[in-house]
Amino acid sequence: MSRYFDIDDIIMEDELSSVVFKVGANGVGLLDPSAETNRVEQGSKVELPFWLANELYLRQAVSVIVPQCFNQKTRREIQADAAYVDLRSRCPYFYELGCKVAPLIGDRTIGSFLLYAFMNRFKDVLSKAHSAAFAVAPRFLPLLTKEEMHLYEAARSSMTAFKKWRVGGSRFEKASILGKKKRSGE
């Protein structure tokens, strides 16, 4: 797994999915808040983080229910006005979770849905990253998923670096890790 140490990948796998246990499991009552004994009964519907849901699915111990952010309602909203859907509040890892969950729920349409959403949103990300970022950012940024934020940051920071270069100035700077403490002479 080349992403073993990847922070985003790890946090993404904390996203919850609803699963139905096809088997019973002893000694793990903590997973099911409604359980009265220290076990999860066969047929219980439980919310599990993706890292657990996925592995249990592969072992045929659970079936996975389509997460809300990929349901028909969200799809209709995206089709109506992709750029203005608040995807972050639905799932900050919308695309990543979509890619990983699609095989589990055997839904062929998730791939094209993600593609459609991404295609119709990424242009906005770009133009806002490069243009009047300050005016639109407060309204626009909170709608973005993590991946879209990374894209926005990629575009914005390379533009900022370019502008800084064009203005000129000192080529040597204090290491940013030292913080911006008082500088004598200022």
Partner 1 sequence: MAGQSDPSLSMFSAAEVEFLAEDEMVEIVPNLNMDTLNLICVNFIFFGYFLSLSQGDFGPFRPQMATSVPLWLAVALKKRGKCTIRCPQWMSVEKLTQVLEAERDSPAQFQPLPFHYVEISRLLFDNARDDIPDMYMARSLIEDIRDVRFHKFESGLEKISSSTHVVKLKNLSAMEVNIVRPFFVRALQAFAKHDSPQMIHHQQDAMSSRQAHPQDDGPRRDLRRR
Partner 2 sequence: MASSSEGLGLGFGSEDVDPSIAMTTDVELLKRAWRNEKAAPEILQFQHELVQRSSEQVQLMEETVEDFEQNGADPLTVSVYQMDLDRMQFLLRSYLRIRLQKIVKYMIHISKSEAWSRLSEQEQKFSKRCMDDMEKHLNQSVLSRLPYGYQSILKQSISSEEDDMVPQPHLDTYVFCKSRTPLGALQIADGEDPMDVLADFLYLFHYKSIRSFVESGHVDLF
Partner 3 sequence: MYGRRASQLLKELSTSEPGQLTSFNTDLFDQALKECNAHHLELQSLMRKIQEEELDVQTTRNAEHFGAVIHHLSLIRNKRCLMAYMYNRAVIIQSLRWKLGPVLPQEIQEKLNFSEEEYFKNYSAALESYASELELDLTVDMVPPKDPYIKVRVLDDIGDVLLSDQSPNLACHSIHFLKRTDAEQFISQGLMEELLG
Residues at the contact surface with partner 1, assessed by CB under 8 A? 2, 57-58, 95, 98-99, 102-104, 106, 108, 110-112, 114-115, 118-119, 122-123, 126-127, 129-130, 147, 150-151, 154-155, 157-159, 161-162, 164-166, 168-173, 175
**From the list partner 1, partner 2, partner 3, none, partner contacted by residue 102 (C-beta under 5 to 8 A by kind):** partner 1
Q: Of 2 and 37, which CB lies nearer to partner 2 in the complex structure?
A: 2
DSSP per residue over 3-70, as a string?
TTT-HHHHHHTT-EEEEEESS-EET-GGG-TT-SSSEE-TT-EEEEEHHHHHHHHHTTSEEEPPPGGG
CB of 161 to partner 1, least distance (A): 6
CB of 2 to partner 2, least distance (A): 4
